[in-house]
Chain A
Amino acid sequence: MASAVMREVGKSVVTMAAVLGGISVLLAGLNRLPVVLQPEVSHRFKDFPGVLEAERELGARIWIPAYFPDSLSWPPALVRVEKSEPPVVVLGILRNPDHDLALLLLQSLGKGDFQPLSVPPVNEVVETRRMTVKGMSALLSRTVDGSGRIWTRLQWETPSRRFLLIGRASSEELIRMAGSVGGGHR
């Protein structure tokens, strides 16, 4: 009796795993299909599971801030490379504990056009002011999105890259994070 039950449990588990696995493969295939059908429209970007994988593909280091407020969750939930020229790396970082998107760090791996796709739309610019980050000219602005939420944006550039930080944190925290961005060790 007990062995019959165990055999049935085993068969049921294997069947369940096979069905769920099969559906997962099917779903992953369906998720991939639009990219295959229309790579130029739907996917001008590629997402990676982590920063290292993106760096491997790009063959370049992604610069990240050494300073992060405790309220932010690391590693980034979104690691995206927009296939523009030069490529733009987008890191999406969530806030603890509600896992809401709190920070986007965008950096172009060169000094060409910087028109990233993965930027929240701006409904209204509340305030803009010029300042410096590590001695380089920067533009700080406070914007309102379609849902009425305020986002602070800080845009600056180094001799080799352009950066845009978009966050829901205070201006001071954003400036501190920007000041800690570098290509050195993490």
Chain B
Amino acid sequence: MILNLYVQVILHSAVSALGVEALLLLWKVQKPAQRWRYRLLALLLPLLTVPAFRLLDPSWGSAAFRAGEALLDSKRWLDLKLGGVTGKIAAWAVLAAGILGFLLQEVKPLILEFWKDKFPHRALEDFPSLVSSLGCWSRISPGDAPVVEILDTDEPLSKCKGGKRAAIILSSGLLHRVDDKELLSILAHEAAHLRKKDHQYGWALLFIRCLHAANPVGLLVFRKLGEENEKWCDDLSVAVTGDPFSLASALIHVYRGSVVKTQYSWDWYRSGTRALGAKARRAVIVARIKRLLETRSYGESLLEPWRLGVTAISLAFLLFRVV
């Protein structure tokens, strides 16, 4: 039962992701905001369709359904035996590896975050350029300037935190590296996150990520969703400042500062995964910088909200025949 459910969610994730990526490519959807919505659809559909189909149609997944109506019957693969290994054993192995990966990649850092020594804070007044940028906050976002916390670390950091009491977190390492224009671009980027309420929706997304815990396809889609969100906020930042190059330049500082020193540790796992994680993060930063340096505007289809709806319904119909 658990294995069947797991395999069905993975299959539905794969079909949804494949359909969404193909449509994004063929329809030439370029705007990050739209791409983000399509990818959210690919993340949500498998979580909704599998329980909905089971509830709405009790025959869904039955032997008769699998034999007659299913376009892809996962049981055929689970029953397949190659090289002494059945599909069921392979699926259990993927499930176990997925759970382990989720615990190490997502849960462990979260727990360590609570327990590790916090960086000391610096006073806002230590950074006059930041004070003056916050003084003209109305130029980059409506409303009052948010709380800004400055962490005393050389690592260039810039992010938002909090639920109802939102705050922008910057590091002294970042503030020492950037000039006034770059700082304004970064603040405009973080302001975009706050305006979109990402600090609140982030918890909902984390919950969805937990539901996809052992799903490797879900993990990939989730990563792409995060990247698209950063690009979306880059666009909102540039729309306010009109200066993509300062944001690109600020990201170069972040890139340079995040290059980790090679760690010759006996703890091969720790150094290996850190290096891998840093490499992936840096690849995303490079993609964002390249995108900012390309001066082009993205057109929007007149049909856009409808196309998303039709995509959702069409994929749901297709997924009904994947069991």
A residues sitting closer than 8 Å to B (CB atoms) are 4-5, 8-9, 12, 15-16, 18-20, 22-24, 27-28, 30-31, 34-35, 37-38, 41-42, 47, 49, 77-78, 80, 92, 94, 98-101, 118
Residues on the B chain within 8 Å of A4, using CB: 302
- Shortest CB distance B77–A (Å): 6
Determine whether the beta carbon of B67 is less than 8 Å from that of A92.
Answer: yes
- By beta carbon, the residue of chain B nearest A18 is B26
- How many pairs of residues, A versus B, come closer than 8 Å at their CB atoms? 96
Q: Is B58 a contact of A98 with CB atoms below 8 Å?
A: yes
User: A15 to B29, alpha carbons, bound, how many Å?
Assistant: 13
Please give, as numbers and ranges, the residues of chain A lying within 8 Å of B276 by CB-CB distance. none
CB pair A37–B80 under 8 Å, yes or no, is yes
Q: List 12 A-B contacts (CB under 8 A).
A: A8-B301, A12-B301, A16-B310, A18-B26, A19-B22, A23-B18, A23-B22, A27-B72, A27-B322, A41-B79, A77-B67, A77-B68
Known: A12-B27, A19-B19. Is A31-B311 also a contact (CB below 8 A)? no
Contact B58–A31 (Cβ < 8 Å)? no
Max count, chain A CB within 10 A of own CB: residue among B57, B62, B68, B79? B68
Say yes or no: A15 contacts B63, CB within 8 Å. no
Contact A5 B65 (CB under 8 A): no
Chain A contacts of B64 at CB under 8 A?
Answer: 77-78, 92, 94, 101
B80 A5 Cβ-Cβ under 8 A: no
Which listed residue (B22, B72, B77, B82) contacts A22, Cβ 8 A? B22
| Closest partner residue, chain A, to B310 (CB atom) | A16
Most chain B beta-carbon neighbours within 10 Å: one of A15, A16, A18: A16
- Complex Cα distance, B22 from A19, in Å, reads 7
Q: With the chains together, A91 CA to B19 CA distance in Å?
A: 35
Flag if A42 contacts B80 (CB, 8 Å). Answer: yes
Do A34 and B22 form a contact, CB below 8 Å, given A16-B310, A118-B63? no
> CB-CB < 8 A to A22: which residues of B?
22
Q: Is the CB of A27 within 8 A of B68?
A: no
Q: How large is the interface on B (under 10, 10 to 19, 20 to 34, 35 or more residues)?
A: 35 or more
> Given A8-B301, A12-B307, do A92 and B63 touch, yes or no (CB 8 Å)?
yes
Asked whether, in the complex, the Cβ of B67 is within 8 Å of the Cβ of A28, the reply is no
Whether B59 pairs with A27 at a CB distance below 8 angstroms is no
Q: Are B68 and A47 in contact (CB under 8 A)?
A: yes
Contacts of A98 on B, CB cut-off 8 Å? 58-59
A15 touching B72 in the complex, CB below 8 Å, given contacts A9-B303, A27-B322, A34-B77:
no
Chain B residues with CB under 8 Å of chain A are 15, 18-19, 22-23, 26-27, 57-59, 62-65, 67-68, 70-73, 76-77, 79-82, 301-303, 307, 310-311, 314, 318, 321-322
Q: Which of A19, A20, A38, A78 contacts B63 (CB 8 A)?
A: A78
Residues of A within 8 A of B18 (CB): 23
A100 to B65, CA, bound (A): 10
Q: Are A34's CB and B79's CB within 8 A? A: yes
Contact between B71 and A24 (Cβ–Cβ < 8 Å)?
A: yes
| Contact B81–A99 (Cβ < 8 Å) | no
The residues of B that contact A77 with a CB separation of less than 8 Å are 59, 64-65, 67-68
With a cutoff of 8 Å between Cβ atoms, the chain A residues found around residue B65 in the complex are 77
> Which are the 7 A-B pairs with shortest beta-carbon distances?
A99-B59, A77-B64, A27-B72, A34-B76, A78-B64, A34-B80, A47-B67
Inter-chain contact B19/A23, CB cutoff 8 Å: yes
Distance (Å) between the CB of A20 and the closest chain B CB? 6
Which one of A5, A15, A94 contacts B302 once the chains associate, using CB atoms below 8 Å?
A5
CB-defined contacts of A27 to chain B, threshold 8 Å: 15, 71-72, 321-322
- Find B27's partner among A15, A49, A94 (CB 8 Å cutoff): A15
Q: Which residues of A contact B303 (CB under 8 A)?
A: 5, 8-9, 12
Separation of A118 and B322 alpha carbons in the complex (Å): 22
| Set A8, A15, A78, A100: member contacting B67, Cβ < 8 A | A78
Identify which of A5, A23, A30, A101 gathers the most chain B CB atoms within 10 Å of its CB. Answer: A23
Residue of A nearest to B81 (CB): A41
Chain A residues with Cβ under 8 A from B27's Cβ? 12, 15
